[in-house]
Structure 1
């Protein structure tokens, strides 16, 4: 039985843990609070307390149990923390170093396609990111540091906008008027596809790899969110289109060509 630790049992981490458990994996995880640990244990997930300050705040025996696994998924978005990006980067490095000390052989870091700027173009994994926001710059710096690790299987997976499990942008947009960029393409990916892609990477370790995950169909914001709002019976957002709006498309087919991945939700309209 293969084993994996998921540092960050949140909106993505919990469904991922359940998915892998269903497939027969031994799954462990971490939460920032002791209350969160107890809740996850009630869900049947072996969970330990781990907080980044950016030093690792955890019981040494718990760390040994948590990192006594074949693989590690680092799923800690910077938005969860109240310190600056420099400390966030140090926190991720501390998690990596602890995993290496305990002999973890494979690491998957959950990143974001936000490392690419909001400009027109088609962005696949061969394009050099040019992050503009502090968060995106921090993510890209972490990616570079992790990929510099030579003697371990290291995967970076960049997700487009996440949808699923009660999370969909249309609920926020339906409350707004004059939403700009109505003619811009959407770049979305469903939670279930994210879990399946991580599973595939865990099953096929192969040193340093970078993959995008984004549904291959990219309707415009106006067409897509109008459809979603009408489908859900909520207010239809009012969009403003502009010829100057960036036509930014994230390409996520490399994982399909190289590893045989198939999107269960290739069309965002299937995600509603």
Structure 2
């Protein structure tokens, strides 16, 4: 069975649609009209091309784009420009001219093709659009139906809401707004994507289908509540007597496709149980290939990435479309740790409540010196959904990459991971660590480059053996990785001569193979 899908328009709706369809076994070929967007979209594992539909031409290799395609999804709305009523149908004519009529097509249209009738509207309504964009769309629908016949399905979607389109921002702080009591017609991004997939799965072509939530809240109450949820100034509505409206009937989508809306009430976008899950992710030692598959997928889908200092560029470049925010701390930073952590907590909360997919990206493993505990407790306190994705900690990565057996029969049956701050703050802990090393266990010390002069003397004092092996691994797993090997007697001198760079992890008590 051919499951090759071509998506014309990898925008706000098209890109997450492509990712979901690919995950569910479809082969995807996507397109964008802009070169800048193409550069970032090429990071994804599906094929992406530049296709720009003009009124008299198609820029790009259209034949390759639709080659072997089982279904073409046309997903680019009319632009808000003069003469769009003429321009958009001409663009559709270019698609028709270069596409066989036997091709299956899903056309993403809009409920703006319907006029206000002060009643419930279903797909049998004779459309008399009131705006230029609606008139452009109804002409486009008609052209596609004339050419593709029963091979085209038109999906008329209501107003789109979801990540990066939180309704709280639509009308916030606006004044003198009219029609406060009309019902609103909306559909969540997740439901729009699932509707398209349902059409594909059920091979439902030759139809016109409305996509809209079941519930139609009143405009004033809905947008006031939406703004308040984001701590934004609520819109101000005038009192009006005559209000024209329409209520989009979605019953055909439910009966024909056996479809159930996840956001049957658009107000659910405000509720915590429907917020997207925050991912606290361990990015490992820095090499992209050492990410877990779950981490990679979450980073690819992220809309906001809050990242620490040691996250490598190659991992950040997995997703170049997300909003990146540096929230890390470098050696010597003067910012108060509590202030910094409170800022991170606020950012996670605010972006999640806006419906955005948040990734909190930490080097190594989140619970190994990653301070994930503070963030997890904050999220749990505020009842925000989250999951922690493990990462390969630096000590384990360095040991494996450099072939250092941290536990080995008749050599060491345990490894202790600790931080060099022990040398600064707790004599008893450092003394205990030294005794573990003396007993034959392997020690791994994080953040120890600047504290080596405190750590080595204590280890020598307790162990009384300057031949105990010491390995200093800088930038484990990255291109600039360096390893300096020595022993307790000479490691300080060797590290100083090598001028290695942070981050450095020390593995003490084991010799590389």
Which TM-score applies when normalising by structure 1? 0.91
Per-residue CA deviation, residues 167-212 of structure 1 (Å, 9 max, x unaligned), is: 1333131121222111111110000100000011112224410001
In terms of Rg, which structure is larger? 2
In the alignment, is the contact (CA less than 8 A) between 1:2 and 1:25 conserved in 2? yes
Match of 2:166 among 151, 154, 168: 168
Counterparts in 2 of 1:87 and 1:177: CA distance versus 1, 3 Å: closer
Superposition pairs of residues 1-272 of structure 1, within 5 angstroms: 2-59=3-60, 62-68=61-67, 69-79=69-79, 84-100=84-100, 105-149=103-147, 153-272=151-270
Aligned length: 268
Counterparts in 2 of 1:16 and 1:80: CA distance versus 1, 3 Å: farther
Counterparts in 2 of 1:134 and 1:36: CA distance versus 1, 3 Å: same
Cα distance in 2 between the residues matched to 1:97 and 1:169 = 38
Counterparts in 2 of 1:56 and 1:37: CA distance versus 1, 3 Å: farther
Cα distance in 1 between the residues matched to 2:81 and 2:72 = 20
Per-residue CA deviation, residues 35-90 of structure 1 (Å, 9 max, x unaligned), is: 2222211133311111122233334xx32321021000001111177764323211
In the alignment, is the contact (CA less than 8 A) between 1:153 and 1:205 conserved in 2? no
Cα distance in 1 between the residues matched to 2:172 and 2:81 = 28
**SS of residue matched to 1:110:** strand
* Offset of residue 242 of structure 1: 2.4
Counterparts in 2 of 1:231 and 1:74: CA distance versus 1, 3 Å: same
In the alignment, is the contact (CA less than 8 A) between 2:105 and 2:153 conserved in 1? yes
Cα distance in 2 between the residues matched to 1:63 and 1:78 = 20
Name the structure, 1 or 2, with higher relative contact order (CA <8 Å, separation 6+). 1
In the alignment, is the contact (CA less than 8 A) between 2:107 and 2:154 conserved in 1? yes
Per-residue CA deviation, residues 77-122 of structure 1 (Å, 9 max, x unaligned), is: 1117776432321111211332317x6x310111110111234111
Q: Which runs of 5+ in 1 are unaligned?
A: none
Cα distance in 2 between the residues matched to 1:19 and 1:80 = 29
* Offset of residue 270 of structure 1: 0.9
Cα distance in 2 between the residues matched to 1:43 and 1:83 = 35
Q: Which runs of 5+ in 2 are unaligned?
A: 271-513
Cα distance in 2 between the residues matched to 1:178 and 1:172 = 15
* Offset of residue 150 of structure 1: 5.3
Cα distance in 2 between the residues matched to 1:143 and 1:71 = 17
CA RMSD of aligned residues (A): 1.9
Cα distance in 2 between the residues matched to 1:250 and 1:107 = 23
Q: 223-232 or 6-15: which moved more?
A: 223-232
Counterparts in 2 of 1:53 and 1:157: CA distance versus 1, 3 Å: same
* Offset of residue 151 of structure 1: 5.6
In the alignment, is the contact (CA less than 8 A) between 1:72 and 1:99 conserved in 2? no
Counterparts in 2 of 1:159 and 1:72: CA distance versus 1, 3 Å: same
In the alignment, is the contact (CA less than 8 A) between 1:183 and 1:241 conserved in 2? no
In the alignment, is the contact (CA less than 8 A) between 1:215 and 1:265 conserved in 2? yes
* Offset of residue 133 of structure 1: 1.8
Cα distance in 2 between the residues matched to 1:63 and 1:185 = 41
Which TM-score applies when normalising by structure 2? 0.50
Q: 222-231 or 16-25: which moved more?
A: 222-231
